[in-house]
Amino acid sequence: MSSESLNSPIPPSTGENITQKSLLIFDLDGTLIDSVPDLADAVNAMLTALGKANFSEDVIRNWVGNGGKVLVQRALSGSQTIDPNLTEDDTNQALALFFDYYHQNTCVRTQPYAGVGEGLRQLKEQGYTLAIATNKPIDFVPAIVEKLGWQALFAYILGGDSLPAKKPDPMPLLHVCDKLGFSIAQSYMIGDSKNDILAGQNAGMDTLGLSYGYNYGQDIRDYHPTQTFDDFATLTEFLSHARV
């Protein structure tokens, strides 16, 4: 699909007219699922193979959210801030080890957050169209969706490498709207991190923030989503009331 066919950004609405919303675009990691346990295992397996010290799951949790390459670079740097002396060869060698392990253990300890499975099914039954726009490489996403039994719930799934740009660029959200035939005004971007909220804002789309996910220790409210929720059940209730 050419970029010319994508919808042009428009100013977001105030959030008052939620009855017009029909398309829900969800982030994946940190929004629908807690994948950090498996990501942490893959990071530490990579570090062990390289003869480097491992890190706790809590430390690695703060490095997640900008894709596999950045996660690996942070692990090699031992910090949220990437070591400027890290070479491309170092990164690529480590990334290959990380992806090899994660391919074999993509959804071992990954779990949906409380209320997500039930909430997604309820929203689907109420007539919403559901989609995923994640920065996770697309190769890993189908195995997770299948293991969790969510194949029938989503009309479209987009990975971080499916297009030339990923969130916070608006391209993935505009592409999903175009692919499924919805306007920006009919859509919500729903996520846990600044990348999700900024992508929605850059597209002129209303955003729903979730406070429990991966946002580098920052309050998602600092990025001014249209609405913010502390759990998925409350989000589901909010969206369900719009269908009554």
29 assigned ligand-binding residue: yes
Tell me which residues are annotated as active site: 27
- In the numeric block, the tokens 């009855």 are attached to 19
ω before 172 within 30° of 0 (cis)? no
206 assigned ligand-binding residue: no
Expressed in percent and rounded to 5, the helix, strand and coil fractions of the chain are 45, 15, 40
169 assigned ligand-binding residue: no
Instruction: Please name every residue paired with 133 in a beta bridge, in sequence order, or none if there are none.
Output: 158
Q: How far apart are CA 174 and CA 44, in angstroms?
A: 36
Beta carbons of 42 and 50 less than 8 angstroms apart: no
Token pair belonging to 106: 């993509």
- List binding-site positions for Mg(2+): 27, 29, 192
- List binding-site positions: 27, 29, 192
